[in-house]
Structure 1
Amino acid sequence: MDVPDRSGRSKPRRGTNWLHRLIANPAFQAWAAQNPFTRSISRREGADLFNLVQGFTHSQTLLAVVELRLLHRLYDAPAIPSDLARLCDLKEPSMVVLLQATAALRLVKRQKDGRYALARKGAALLGVPGLEEMIRHNRLLYRDLEDPVAFLRGETIPEVAAFWPYVFGEGAAINPEASQEFSRLMADSQSLVAQEILSTISLKGIKHLLDVAGGSGVFLSLALRQYPGLTTDLFDLPTVIDTARTRLDAHPGRVQFHSGDFRNDPLPTGADAISLIRVLFDHQDDTVRALLRKVHEALPPNGRLIIAEPMSGGTRPDQATDVYFAFYTKAMGTGRTRSADEIMTLCRAVGFRGLRNPATHRSYVTSVVTGFK
């Protein structure tokens, strides 16, 4: 075990990497910042470290921008701080602070005449379905992580967990409004996920697709548009099915709806492919094993399995999934962000074969695992 020195730092054990000891030396850091051969590296790594330190202010700046609809107010034309302050019910000095911070984050840009205009990244934020709602929703996670050590030790009661009533099965019956709110939030972002899945894998050759826990039907809606010969089933809780019916009415005769809870009810049979879109990371391993076993039993020989959700980088940790999604699923209290290898191991254990993890364009949106019975 390392022994703390007078500064409170641990003295490294013999054999610790000499380079790490050198880099951790304040005298070396001062020298590296001035040396012409190392200063660019030193400054870049210093800036990266400071970005880690100030990350919480980025998220809170973003929340203020969304709550005040700042980007929406700049959508049609640039504006001066005093006008924006009046519209947002802020004093002008406070608005200037927010605008400067937002410009530094490249969501807006400051013009030479003193006005602020929407930047390309800000316009992109407005164009991503559900992103503003997710930013608002993250207030729950932010509060849950106020004391991260207590959170990791399991000494807190996360607010995020209260937002997931139907993960616990009968919670949906107890609080249908909360489950519907979650379904709306998921639906807003599901279109990006659906696009990513269908640009990564092909559904050619599939005649009938069952989407388990298919929510409001966003994935099926896009799949039905891209594959005119496809017929589908959607299986989900009764409180969610009604939302899906409204969306999928545009595809008469091509969708059958099945109400149920996959933990307690059998899955519909007759599909030659079954999809699990953002389902497994909601649940612990025992629930996932039971679900995969049901999926395997419901499929015919050579039936196809499609799993899509944010996945851990595993042996190559991923900044999006191993930070945001890993902490989020821990806050849920029921789920876990798994690597593709972990998911494929669970699939093999119930009999799936030919498992693959094709690369997606945006792993922070989703990753994909496919296999066959």
Structure 2
Amino acid sequence: MKKELLDYIDKVGLIGAGHPHSLAHLKTLRWIDQIVDIPVYDSDESKTQYAKEEIGNKIGETYTNLDSLLGRSDVPVVFVCLPNDRAPDVLIKCARAGKHVIVEKPVARSAEAFKRALDAVEDAGLKLTVCFQNRYHPVVQDIFGLIRNGVLGVPMSIEMRMVTSQVRFRDPNHWLFQHDLSGGGILSWLGCHYLDMACYFMQDRVSEVSAILATNSGEPIDVEDTASLSFRFRSGIVGSLHAGYMLPFSGLGYMGPSYDTYIAIRGTKGNVVWKPFESKESSFTVESTIAKWEASPHRVFGYRLPECDAYGGMHGVKFVTDFLNSVVSDTQPAVSGNDMMHVLEVLDAAYESDTTGNRVNI
């Protein structure tokens, strides 16, 4: 079924005001001038009222009944921010109500749980994107361009590290640390961003995964807080990801933690090294032996990002704006549901590998 094209979107609803990133997503919508009304749903009225107090007059009606929000014909797009065990069923309800969707990663506890929701959205002729806004980061865009332009030669490997503040800073009782609700720990919540970036940089899919996972924090949680993955892409490129809630110093909560991060991409002609998201002033280094770089084979690229309290900063605003434009123009979003499906397949393979002790093919 093909949906009727829209001329303009000035209203976006938000479903789930209690998610760790809900307030940041509302700030993103507040940054977008064309958005004049953000109706908000949560079963807990105190959370919708808090959102209204924090965001101000762009928050419109608030609801404790989801059907009341989904029944509004003047709200064509909704932002879904719910626990992983609940999001797929709500996505199906959104599809039945004819809503295009921006949804928080990782969406579901498994690829199987997400598939029925993605099928419902696609069968309804609607668009869905997932919050992998890091693809829009200017560093990511420039590294992507260097790879595509052959500065690194043929890519051979990608190695990544994503270490952040310990579980004790993040409320060990949160649903993120309950397997029945989240489906996984550090890999599911934060490792998914790095797996998506790896697939984006390589323009490839992962075909093979080996993983060792552990819960080493001493906190009363039943998901992994430490993880080591090795994986192979279909093209033969190999990769690794080391992830964990490990840093002993951090602010409280989910929007101001400490990070120790690293991405290195190595090819036959050069390499690039970046430490993502550790400061507002970002930089990365490149070495290349290609002829065009003979006069300066070692280079440093520096960035000063603008102040912006949106989720992901200004590139997060651009991510959401581009999705709204894709709905209006009926074009493919930059991040698709199939991109999320593949990351969930990698996560499923990692959990299976750790359980069985075997390498898992996708």
Q: Same fold (TM over 0.5)?
A: no
Larger helix fraction of residues: 1
TM-score (norm 2): 0.28
Larger strand fraction of residues: 2
TM-score (norm 1): 0.28
**Higher gyration radius (CA):** 1
Whose relative contact order is higher, 1 or 2, with alpha carbons under 8 Å and at least 6 apart?
2
